[in-house]
């Protein structure tokens, strides 16, 4: 079920009202919210509910075993097996077709047959997100950052519909404590919730989908049909599209959770005002960044060693982070590019970094990030090279329309404005009377909804990851 | 700590939360309740459709008020959809029931001169190509555009994802095909559609006919014939209609088979102008579904994981075969 759809507009008010009605009676509320979340998930494909339930039960069993284990060695061993199984499951669903084809091609070059059947496996929506959340639960329990929770609470944590399909990746230690007692019915950030839902709808439907339709999709599908000016515009257009699409989803998810009394971590913080790649990753998909940092980079050794050791860890972390986005060499290379940029930044730190003006650091970072998005968006490496080739082809600018230019300039420009006044503006909006905000949200949905083509709202980009 | 935990964030009550969301829902219902019924029409028969209908019917009645009409009027210009000619809709053209006792004449266009060992008509230069259909037509459309654009051929890609000939509520292909040719006047049209078929369609008596009886096939064939007629633009354009590749799901196989048979019947009167390209010849030559087929001498995956669509490689394979077929009719 997509957030900005008629189906969800019927689902959510009913679920919200019943949720608050049952909230004081936790024995009723907990099974209720699990059922509601599974209904939400089943709308995509009922069969995948079994996978979600399996991951829940498997990781809960592991957490209980870890808590009961007498020795650190045993705890480590159980955690390793649980995380390994989670990753194996993710690997089968997400990467089987990718690796089996490459593996078969390699064996074929030695005239050996394919050892595994060449099959495609349907990717369960959200699997990358709830698998990672399951890993944080098991690891947090092992580290002592979280207590093993009841199976019901773990089921809620992994299936809670606002974050189920595309995050933000909420840690067990952040979410499970919120289930210990009923949410306070007198402490609901209604204004913030409504404002975020409205903002998310505008970002996704009005900006991201519009740019995709009129600019990004045509150019990336057939770069051969466009010259340098259009290729350049589409690259910036995609930078804006992916930001609005994903942060729009996150805004809606966080907003819905707030209306239900739950708090999710922030996932975006004006990423295009970053003045370096470290800064960028502290602002872009923040919950993935900290997952990679805390559950991969630091366990690999982090920066506790020689420079080369740190660089190796950075590269491994970012390449795997790239691969997390999808089974394609473009994602692997995108991750490698991010890793190389971080390594370069690390190497230049102190010497060049401090002497470079802030505006130049911003300019370089923004344009390199945008360049990397071309790799991220390209269907395959061949098309990536085709796309780059268009930068050297002169020709007319055919896609420069006022709405397109406005969308790109406004979204990037808003991120460059001073933070304080923008925050104050947002807080003021959130403090308005909820009834007034509700009318404003309804008007926003009506206007934005009228811009949706008859084919409906396309899925969020991150649903495929 | 999240900023929503900090002091300074204004908190309200759960009651206000529910009330605010109820206000949003109520306003949407009063001003745009009809969209629920539209969403229901787009669903296949099932629980979800029934639920949407149950909410949509009163919603539609509620929205039929001066405010609702004013809101619809105010926002109507924001739609990115092109304006379509209502006279071309399937509802206007009817189900195409043949008048009893009338025997439709067989004309020379029923025959392909090449298949009769007659002289092939001279090949014309291909200057413009329209590639259209539902999601099946992607990424084939991009593959064709990437190959033909550098040759100076204007390729228009116009996929309408989620649509089907049997479901006119989302997109009426009678209207859509008329609008497409009016705008682009293509020399050739590639049609690849059929991933979302199987919806009930109104029969000659106005009652819905469920898939996939001969009656349903006949209605489908009549609709497809109307679409083909539009794409043909008289004698001006060639049409390449790609059959639905055998899907993995047995229930879908049945629908695909009926759709393919209906299209073959629909195209009969214009054998030399409308080419039915049998995709199963390439992707399921033995009549069974497979994710992979031999490509360049080795087995390679050509289908998407949904068991319906072709992946990039599959589309590339299909583009090879399709261009071979197009080259028999056109020069480039």
Nearest CB to A101 within list B2, B81, B300: B300
Give all strands (DSSP E) within B65-141, no chain letters.
124-125, 128-133
Give the lowest-confidence range in A1-15, A59-73, B130-144.
Answer: A1-15
Query: CATH no. for residue B298?
Result: 3.40.50.1110
For A349-416, what is the HEC assignment? CCCCHHHCCHHHHHHHHHHHHHHHHHHHHCCCHHHHHHHHHHCCCCCCCCCCCHHHHHHHHHHHHHHH
C-beta neighbour count of A286 within 10 angstroms? 19
| Interchain proximity B22–A194, CB inside 8 Å | no
Question: A107-133, pLDDT tens digit by residue?
Answer: 777 777 666 677 777 778 888 889 999
Tally the domains of chain B: 2
Q: Give helix B14-32 / helix A190-201 axis angle, nearest 10°.
A: 30
Nearest CB to A20 within list B17, B55, B142: B17
Q: What is the dihedral of CA B39, A255, A53, A121, to 10 degrees?
A: 60
- Residue A288 and residue A235 share a domain: yes
- Residue B233 and residue B260 share a domain: yes
CB neighbour burial string for B283-295, b if at least 16 within 10 angstroms, e if fewer: bbeeeebbbbbeb
Give the lowest-confidence range in A61-65, A414-418, A457-461, B109-113.
Answer: A457-461
| Interchain proximity B146–A222, CB inside 8 Å | yes
Residue of B nearest to A430 (CA): B10
Q: For the residues A314-324, what does the mean pLDDT come to?
A: 93
The verdict on residue A119 lying in a domain is: yes
The verdict on residue B230 lying in a domain is: yes
Nearest-Cα distance to chain B for A337, in Å, is: 25
Q: For the residues A64-79, what does the mean pLDDT come to?
A: 92
The verdict on residue B149 lying in a domain is: yes
- Residue B235 and residue B125 share a domain: yes
- Residue A200 and residue A154 share a domain: no
Mutation target to probe the B interface, by most B beta carbons within 10 A, among A113, A455, A459, A464 is A455
State which H helix or E strand residue A283 sits in: helix A277-283
Mutation target to probe the B interface, by most B beta carbons within 10 A, among A3, A12, A13, A250 is A13
Q: For the residues A326-335, what does the mean pLDDT come to?
A: 91
Helix and strand element counts for chain A (H, E): 21, 0
Length of chain A equals 465
C-beta neighbour count of B148 within 10 angstroms? 23
Residue the block writes with tokens 């009678």: B174
The verdict on residue B63 lying in a domain is: yes
- Residue B247 and residue B221 share a domain: yes
Burial class (CB in 10 A: 0-12, 13-18, 19+), A129: buried
Evaluate if residue A392 carries a pLDDT over 60.
yes
- Residue A200 and residue A118 share a domain: no
- Residue A53 and residue A23 share a domain: yes
**CA pair distance B166, B197, nearest whole angstrom:** 6
Q: Which of A114, A148, A179 is the last residue of a domain?
A: A179
- Residue B295 and residue B148 share a domain: yes
With 0.90 as the threshold, say if the pTM is over it: no
The verdict on residue A380 lying in a domain is: yes
SS3 of B114, please?
coil
Nearest-Cα distance to chain B for A347, in Å, is: 32
The verdict on residue B322 lying in a domain is: yes
Residues of B in contact with A17 (CB under 8 A): 18, 21-22
| Interchain proximity A222–B145, CB inside 8 Å | yes
Question: A176-211, pLDDT tens digit by residue?
Answer: 999 999 999 999 999 999 999 999 999 999 999 999
Q: For the residues A420-432, what does the mean pLDDT come to?
A: 85
The verdict on residue B27 lying in a domain is: yes
Picking from B296, B244, B140, B321, the residue whose alpha carbon sits closest to that of residue A101 is: B296
The verdict on residue B278 lying in a domain is: yes
Residue of B nearest to A114 (CA): B299
CB B301 within 8 A of CB B313: yes
Q: For the residues A303-332, what does the mean pLDDT come to?
A: 91
Residue of B nearest to A254 (CA): B4
CB B266 within 8 A of CB B177: no
- Residue B319 and residue B252 share a domain: yes
pLDDT value of residue B7? 57
- Residue A104 and residue A38 share a domain: yes
- Residue A133 and residue A96 share a domain: yes
- Residue B326 and residue B250 share a domain: yes
Q: For the residues A36-52, what does the mean pLDDT come to?
A: 91
From first to last of its 332 residues, chain B has per-residue pLDDT tens of: 567 766 567 888 999 999 999 999 999 888 887 778 777 777 777 777 888 888 878 777 877 788 878 888 888 788 888 788 788 888 776 555 445 556 667 777 888 887 788 888 888 999 999 999 999 999 999 999 999 999 999 999 999 998 999 988 888 999 999 999 999 999 999 999 999 999 999 988 888 899 989 999 999 999 999 999 999 998 899 999 999 999 999 989 999 999 999 999 999 999 889 999 999 999 998 889 999 999 988 888 899 988 999 999 999 999 999 999 999 999 98
- Residue A104 and residue A21 share a domain: yes
- Residue B184 and residue B146 share a domain: yes
As a whole-number percent, the residues of chain A with pLDDT over 90 amount to: 70
Give A6's Cβ-side CA count (13 Å radius): 24
Structural domain boundaries, residue B55: 14-75
Nearest CB to B24 within list A121, A192, A442: A442
The verdict on residue B186 lying in a domain is: yes
**CA pair distance B60, B64, nearest whole angstrom:** 6
Residues of B in contact with A450 (CB under 8 A): 75-76, 78-79
CB B130 within 8 A of CB B156: yes
Residues of B in contact with A449 (CB under 8 A): 32, 35, 75
- Residue A211 and residue A147 share a domain: no
- Residue B251 and residue B213 share a domain: yes
Q: Among residues A111, A163, A285, A325, which one is catalytic? A: A325
- Residue B91 and residue B62 share a domain: no
| Interchain proximity A118–B149, CB inside 8 Å | no
Question: A147-185, pLDDT tens digit by residue?
Answer: 899 999 999 999 999 998 887 999 988 899 999 999 999
Helix and strand element counts for chain B (H, E): 11, 11
State which H helix or E strand residue A15 sits in: helix A6-22
**A52 CA to centre of own chain:** 18
The verdict on residue A1 lying in a domain is: no
Residue of A nearest to B5 (CA): A263
CB neighbour burial string for B21-33, b if at least 16 within 10 angstroms, e if fewer: bebbbebbbbbbb
- Residue A345 and residue A270 share a domain: yes
Is A325 among the catalytic positions?
Answer: yes
- Residue A283 and residue A350 share a domain: yes
Structural domain boundaries, residue A251: 190-464
Q: Which of A179, A203, A224 is the last residue of a domain?
A: A179
**CA pair distance A234, A245, nearest whole angstrom:** 15
Question: What is the DSSP track for B43-71?
Answer: SPSSHHHHHHHHHHHHHHHHH-SHHHHHH
Q: Which of A153, A179, A205 is the last residue of a domain?
A: A179
CB A262 within 8 A of CB A160: yes
Nearest CB to A13 within list B21, B42, B81: B21
Residue the block writes with tokens 């959340």: A133
For B141-167, what is the HEC assignment? HHHHHHHHHHHCCEEEEEECCCCECCE
- Residue B62 and residue B93 share a domain: no
The verdict on residue A231 lying in a domain is: yes
pLDDT value of residue A58? 95
Tally the domains of chain A: 2
A357-to-A99, A350, A361, A369 alpha-carbon distances in Å: 44, 13, 6, 18
- Residue B253 and residue B131 share a domain: yes
Nearest-Cα distance to chain A for B146, in Å, is: 5
Mean pLDDT of chain A: 91
Q: Give the torsion sign (CA, A15, A17, A20, A26).
A: negative
The verdict on residue B280 lying in a domain is: yes
CB B224 within 8 A of CB B165: yes
Residue of B nearest to A116 (CA): B299
| Interchain proximity B301–A101, CB inside 8 Å | yes
Nearest CB to B150 within list A189, A224, A437: A224
CA B203-B207-B213 angle, to 5 degrees, is: 55
Q: Give helix A190-201 / helix A228-259 axis angle, nearest 10°.
A: 150
State which H helix or E strand residue A438 sits in: helix A434-450
The verdict on residue A185 lying in a domain is: no
């Amino acid at each position: 079920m997509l957030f900005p759809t008629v189906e969800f507009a019927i689902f959510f008010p009913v679920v919200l009202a019943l949720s608050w009605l049952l909230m004081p009676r936790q024995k009723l509320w907990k099974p209720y919210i699990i059922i509601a979340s599974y209904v939400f998930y089943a709308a995509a494909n009922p069969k995948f509910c079994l996978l979600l339930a399996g991951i829940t039960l498997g990781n809960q069993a592991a957490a209980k075993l870890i808590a009961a284990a007498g020795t650190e060695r045993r705890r480590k061993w159980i955690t390793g097996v649980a995380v390994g199984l989670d990753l194996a499951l993710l690997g089968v669903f997400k990467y089987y077709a990718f690796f089996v084809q490459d593996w078969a091609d390699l064996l074929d070059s030695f005239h050996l047959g394919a050892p595994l059947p060449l099959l495609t496996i349907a990717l369960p929506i959200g699997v990358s997100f709830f698998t990672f959340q399951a890993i944080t639960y098991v690891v947090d329990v092992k580290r002592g950052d979280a207590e093993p929770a009841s199976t019901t609470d773990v089921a809620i944590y992994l299936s809670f519909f606002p974050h189920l399909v595309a995050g933000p990746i909420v840690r067990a230690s952040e979410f499970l404590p919120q289930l210990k007692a009923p949410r306070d019915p007198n402490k609901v950030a209604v204004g913030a919730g409504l404002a975020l839902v409205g903002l998310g709808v505008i970002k996704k439907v009005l900006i991201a989908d519009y740019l995709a339709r009129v600019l990004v999709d045509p150019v990336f599908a057939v770069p051969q049909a466009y010259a340098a000016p259009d290729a350049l515009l589409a690259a910036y257009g995609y930078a804006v599209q992916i930001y609005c699409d994903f942060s729009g989803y996150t805004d809606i998810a966080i907003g819905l959770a707030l209306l239900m009394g739950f708090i999710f971590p922030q996932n975006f913080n004006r990423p295009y005002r970053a003045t370096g790649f470290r800064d960028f990753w502290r602002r872009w998909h923040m919950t993935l960044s900290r997952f990679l940092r805390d559950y991969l980079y630091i366990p690999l050794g982090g920066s506790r060693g020689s420079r080369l050791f740190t660089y190796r860890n950075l590269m491994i972390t970012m390449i795997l982070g790239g691969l997390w986005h999808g089974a394609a060499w473009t994602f692997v290379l995108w991750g490698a590019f991010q890793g190389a940029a971080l390594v370069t930044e690390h190497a230049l730190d102190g010497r060049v970094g401090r002497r470079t003006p802030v505006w130049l650091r911003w300019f370089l970072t923004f344009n390199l990030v945008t360049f990397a998005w071309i790799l991220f968006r390209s269907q395959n490496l061949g098309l990536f090279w085709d796309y780059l080739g268009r930068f050297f082809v002169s020709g007319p600018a055919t896609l420069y329309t006022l709405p397109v230019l406005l969308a790109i300039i406004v979204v990037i420009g808003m991120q460059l404005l001073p933070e304080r006044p923008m925050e104050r503006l947002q807080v003021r909006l959130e403090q308005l009377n909820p009834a007034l905000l509700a009318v404003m949200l309804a008007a926003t949905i009506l206007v934005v909804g009228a811009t949706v083509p008859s084919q409906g709202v396309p899925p969020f980009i991150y649903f495929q990851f | 700590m999240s900023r929503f935990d900090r002091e300074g964030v204004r908190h309200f009550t759960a009651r206000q939360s529910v009330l605010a969301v109820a206000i949003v829902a109520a306003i949407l219902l009063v001003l745009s309740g009809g969209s629920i019924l539209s969403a229901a029409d787009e669903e296949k028969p099932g629980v979800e459709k029934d639920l949407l209908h149950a909410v949509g019917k009163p919603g539609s009645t509620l929205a039929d008020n001066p405010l609702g009409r004013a809101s619809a009027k105010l926002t109507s210009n924001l739609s990115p959809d092109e304006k379509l000619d209502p006279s071309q809709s399937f509802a206007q053209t009817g189900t195409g029931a043949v008048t009893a006792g009338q025997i439709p004449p067989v004309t020379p266009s029923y025959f392909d001169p090449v298949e009769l060992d007659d002289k092939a008509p001279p090949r014309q230069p291909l200057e413009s190509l329209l590639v259209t259909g539902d999601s099946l037509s992607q990424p084939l459309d991009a593959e064709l555009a990437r190959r033909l654009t550098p040759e100076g051929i204007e390729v228009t890609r116009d996929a309408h994802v989620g649509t089907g000939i049997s479901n006119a509520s989302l997109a009426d292909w009678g209207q859509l095909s008329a609008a497409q040719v009016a705008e682009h006047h293509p020399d050739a049209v590639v049609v690849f559609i059929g991933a979302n078929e199987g919806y009930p369609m109104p029969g000659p008596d106005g009652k819905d006919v469920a898939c996939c009886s001969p009656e349903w096939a006949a209605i489908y064939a009549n609709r497809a014939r109307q679409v083909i007629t539009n794409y043909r633009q008289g004698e001006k354009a060639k049409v390449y209609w790609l059959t639905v590749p055998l899907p993995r799901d047995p229930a879908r196989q049945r629908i695909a088979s009926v759709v393919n048979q209906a299209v073959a019947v629909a195209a009969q009167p214009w054998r030399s102008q409308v080419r039915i390209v049998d995709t199963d010849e390439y992707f399921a030559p033995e009549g069974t579904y497979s994710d992979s087929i031999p490509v360049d001498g080795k087995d390679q995956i050509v289908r998407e994981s949904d068991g319906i669509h072709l992946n990039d490689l599959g589309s590339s394979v299909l583009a090879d075969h399709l261009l071979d077929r197009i080259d028999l009719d056109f020069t480039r």
